[in-house]
Structure formats: C-alpha cells, structure tokens
Amino acid sequence: MKSYDGCWTCRLRKKRCDEIRPVCRNCSALQITCHFGNEKPSWMDGGFGQKEKAEEVKREVKSAAARRRGTLPMDVLEPIAAEPDNDAGLATGGLNEQRASKCPPFPGPLCVRDLAPSQYQALDRRFMMFYFDHFFPFLFPFYKPLLLEGGRSWIMELVVGNQAMWHTTLCLSTYFVSVALDGAISGPNVCKTLAWEKLLKQMGVTFMMLHHNLEEVASSNTQDLIIKTSRIMGNIIQLQRFEISVGNFENCQKHLSAAITLLKQIFRAADNVIGDGELPTFYGVLSQMGRPLWAIKSQQSGAWSSDQAAFRFYSALLIVDDIIISTCTEEPPRLLEYHAQLLTNGGSPDERPLNLEDFIGCENWVMLQIGEISALDTWKKSIRKAGQLDTMELVARASAIKQALLGNLARLDAAANTPKTHWLGLFTLYNDHLPPMPGGCTAFVTRVWAHAALLYLSVVVSGWQPGSAGVRENVVRVLALLEQMPTPELLRTMVWPFCIVGCLAEPGEECRLRAMANALVPHRLFGAARKALEIMENVWKCRDGLTIDTDFAACVCSLGYVSLLV
C-alpha cells in the first residue's frame, strides 16, 4: 500500500514512499528532486499544473539516468524542440514555443545525437580533462601547489570520487567548451542561449540538492561529518565561482551564507572531537580529515590528502569572498574571528595555515586590512547613528590600518628585485599560466589591491571625495599599474580594485577603464569584470548627484542587488 504521507514527488509519480527526509530512497536512487513538506505544492492541483509537473519530473528522471550511466544529458548541449522551455531565453528577450521548435541543433562537434554510449563516456572524459587542463587554471591562475604538497592531483581525485562534484564539474566544463567553440562554430545564437540557460537551471537544482545533503549530515557528530560537510562547502563555492564568472549574481549572498555556515559547523565538529572547548586550529581541523600522504618533519604541512587539500583551497576562497562582500553590505566579515589563526599565525609565510597569494595572487596583509576597514566602517556607522562618534578615535583606528598598508607596500617595493626560489622550481617553467613580470605577478597584484585598499580607507574615513589629493594619488597609481598588465586577462584577479578605482575616477579616465574591460573576450567568461564596469557606468551617470555621505557599498548596490566582485 502506497503512503499518503510521503514526498510530493512520489505522490506525483504514484509510487510508494519510505518517507525518509530530506531525500527519500526513490528520489535518491533516481537522483531527482525530492519535494516534501506539510503544505501542498501549488502545482499539485489535479489538473494542468500537476500534469505539467509530471512531465517535468519525467524529463528529470531521463536526464538523471544519463548521468548514472556516465553520459552527458542531451539537453545540456542542445535544446529539445518537442519540449521548449518557457522561462529560458533571458538573453533573447523571451522565446516562444514556435521559435524554440525551429531551432536546429548545434552543428559540428556539439551534435551528440548519434553518439554511441561509449562515445558519450569518451566525450565526458574529454570535457573533464578540459576542466583540469584549461578551465581550472583559467579561473585560478595563481594556484600552483608544489609537488611536495601534493600538487593539484586532489582536484581529479575529489571529482572522480564525489558524484556531486563530478556532475557539477561536468556542467562547468560543458559550458566553457560551448563558449570556446562559439567562435569556431557557426549556428543560431538562440540554440546556444537555450543550452546555457538550461545549464544554469540545472545548477540551481544542484544547489538545492546540496542544501538537502547539508540537512542530511547536520545531525551527525562523527568525524565523517567534517569530510562530508567540507565537500558540500567546496561544491557550493565552486558553483558560486562559476556563476560569478558568467555574470550571475542573483544568489551570491545566499550561497555565501551557506558556505560560511558550513565552515563554522566544520570547526564546531572538530571541537566536539578534540574536546578542549576552544576554537580548533586549522591544522587541528585538517587532522580530523585523515593523515597527509607524507609529512616533512621540518614543516607542519606535507602532501595533503584530497579532502585536506580541497578544504584548504575552498577555505581560502571563502575567506576572500567573505571579506570582499562585507565591503558591499555595510557589515564586518562574518569570518573575522578566524582571520588571526588562518592568516597571521607564525612569523613567516611558511608558518601560516593559508597564504592567500598562493590561491588568489594577493598577500594576506592586504586582505586582512580590507577586512579591518570594513569592520571600521560598520563601527563608524553604528556609533554615528547613536550620536557618539569620536572623530579622534576614528582617525586613530584608521591611521593604524594605513600604516600597516604603507609599511607593507614599502617592503614589497624593497623586495621587488629579489628572486623567489623553491625546491623543484625548474618545473614552474612548464606549469606556469602567468606571464613573466618584474618582481612576479603576485607582487604586482598585491600592489594593486593595496592601493585600492587605501582608496577604500579614504572613503570610509573622509567620505566620498574623488577630487581629494589622497584619492587622486591612489587612483592614478592603480590606473598606471593596470595599464602595465602584460595580458588583459590578469584583470579578472583584480575586479574589486578595478571597481573601486573606476567609481572614483574622473570623466577623462572613463575611456581607459572601458578599454580594460572590453579587452576581456569573450565577455561571457568575465562576468565579474563586466559587472564592475556596469557599476562604474551607473556611478558615472549620477556623478553630480553624489554627496560626501556616499560610500562604496552604495555604489555596488546601485544596480539593486549585491555583486560579489571576485
């Protein structure tokens, strides 16, 4: 006898449900969305809505079946004429059923209609290698871990061993292969737009599945919880970075909040295991994920396991994302309490748990000070609202931040001609995706971020004064640095500095900033930089109406939503 208290998906499919939450066994086995809840869904109306939803579930079952066989779903690569998507086509102004049905499939290499199952699998493997060889280095050009730390092999190990990561990575790679072939293949743009929109919808389903997975593991207090939760966190951050790169910022705050919650849960779970009542060290958390493949006695680190390496990588990205979005939300970084132990422990970079320059090309001290400026901004606004602002205290706090930035900039300049060497350095010649620069790319990127941080500090302390001497000095310096970039694509690692400099630029400098953004082609792969240009242009339009009380957060939110500029 079938259950009448089961999930709505099983009721719709007229199947017996075991009522396991958050995903029943039927839906889990089929890898489809498990709808459950006390309230009856609006589509469960016994009429057209229910029939339409049933057809949607059938398509989802078919698509999931292709994934389980290790093949790529047809509707990822080409639109299905018989089943047009009414809400796809955001970039085409809306596509009606008749227009969608006339769209021919992708030509050339993207026509997969007649492939045998073995060829599908081969296609998947090639798309996956495209991700490892091209897409990942494109997104994270500074991430080149040494062989003694295990290199980048964890990426492949994690993707192959984790079904959710495999699926999301395949989706990402599919999109970028489509973009890469866009210039080489002629064909209707409508079809390509439909394929991309379907891909983004599929990513939305993936996020929902990840939230269900979170609920599933949240009740556990075992060491296994740490690994499972860290994998979910990594999936969320990876998908969010992809969404940002293609210009989709609608869910960035929600996804970032979920990832931050997961990181805090991981530390709490490690504390439950260690049991000393204090915030565990980063290495303490890593130790709960297993042992490194090998260890070096003179260092705390070694060749990290795939889960340890992934946790380090995604924690670094999350720390940066949290700091950057705090400058746009008028709130301090939500992971501020973790900064000291993750970014400053020890006297040398080798002793810090995370060196951000290895992940994003910017040294820790800049990000730490941007986080401090954001916290100072929040403090200033709350105290001023209460009528208790002490200007001398504000200046004193700001002076300490400014001196830290200027002191480190001076150190950076002094070390500009000092070559960096490390063991097995000869292999960097064959594994370097960055252009050669005097002093290195990380020093260049760090310098740009530092001068942008000084601009941010000026706005927080003195208000919106684009014409002031201090602001003009740093705007001119950053613009000069950005125009020295050896390749335009390097700008994608400095989007936040690019945006704040652009917002404070003079009219005569606008064309230089537009040229930098327009040099990033194809535009589809540089969503954050394009969004930064859109924010700047919005500020330029209302430049005469800006007052001294305007801040950077107001500029970023002038489009009606918060954009994560990373």
Give the model confidence (pLDDT) of 345-360 as tens digits: 654 555 678 999 999 9
Same domain, 519 and 466: yes
Displacement of CA 565 from its chain's centroid (Å): 10
Do the domain assignments include residue 131?
A: yes
- Would you say residue 327 has pLDDT above 70? yes
Same domain, 17 and 138: no
Tell me the mean pLDDT in the region 222-249.
84
Same domain, 261 and 154: yes
Do the domain assignments include residue 328?
A: no
Copy the structure tokens of residue 364: 């820790």
DSSP state of 156: H
Single-letter code of the amino acid located at 414: A
Tell me the mean pLDDT in the region 229-243.
88
Same domain, 53 and 190: no
Tell me the mean pLDDT in the region 266-291.
80
Indicate the residue among 72, 87, 102 that finishes a domain. Answer: 87
Displacement of CA 67 from its chain's centroid (Å): 24
Same domain, 129 and 69: no
Query: Which residue blocks in 291-363 are alpha helix, DSSP H?
Result: 306-329, 336-339, 357-360
Query: What's the domain count of the chain?
Result: 3
- Would you say residue 301 has pLDDT above 70? no
Q: For residue 194, what pLDDT is reported?
A: 53
Q: What is the mean pLDDT of the chain?
A: 78
* Token pair 């984790």: residue: 162
Copy the structure tokens of residue 264: 């805090």
* Integer Cα distance of 160 and 137 in angstroms: 18
Displacement of CA 403 from its chain's centroid (Å): 31
CB 364 within 8 A of CB 347: no
Do the domain assignments include residue 108?
A: no
CB 232 within 8 A of CB 262: yes
Same domain, 238 and 382: no
Same domain, 80 and 124: no
Is residue 303 helix, strand or coil? strand
Same domain, 477 and 536: yes
Q: For residue 444, what pLDDT is reported?
A: 92
- Would you say residue 196 has pLDDT above 80? no
* Integer Cα distance of 546 and 464 in angstroms: 8
**Beta strand ranges found along 62-137 (DSSP E):** none
Same domain, 171 and 278: yes
Range with lowest mean pLDDT among 151-165, 228-242, 505-519, 522-536 = 151-165
* Integer Cα distance of 555 and 537 in angstroms: 10
* Integer Cα distance of 455 and 469 in angstroms: 11
Do the domain assignments include residue 323?
A: no
Do the domain assignments include residue 25?
A: yes
Question: CA 107, 202, 360, 348: dihedral to nearest 10 degrees?
Answer: -140
Do the domain assignments include residue 106?
A: no
CB 555 within 8 A of CB 543: no
If one compares 508 and 151, the residue with the highest pLDDT of the two is: 508
Single-letter code of the amino acid located at 386: A
- Would you say residue 66 has pLDDT above 60? no
Do the domain assignments include residue 431?
A: yes
Same domain, 194 and 249: yes
Q: For residue 200, what pLDDT is reported?
A: 61
Do the domain assignments include residue 406?
A: yes
> pTM of the full predicted structure?
0.76
Which domain, by its residues, includes 58? Answer: 8-87
Indicate the residue among 87, 104, 133 that finishes a domain. Answer: 87
Q: Residues 300-307: contacts with CB within 8 Å, 24+ apart?
A: 300/351, 301/149, 302/148, 302/149, 303/148, 303/149, 303/150, 304/149, 304/150, 304/154, 305/150, 305/154, 306/153, 306/154, 306/157, 306/158, 306/161, 307/154, 307/158, 307/227, 307/230, 307/231
Same domain, 130 and 228: yes
Same domain, 29 and 129: no
Cα–Cα nearest to 54, from 17, 14, 23, 81:
14
Single-letter code of the amino acid located at 544: D
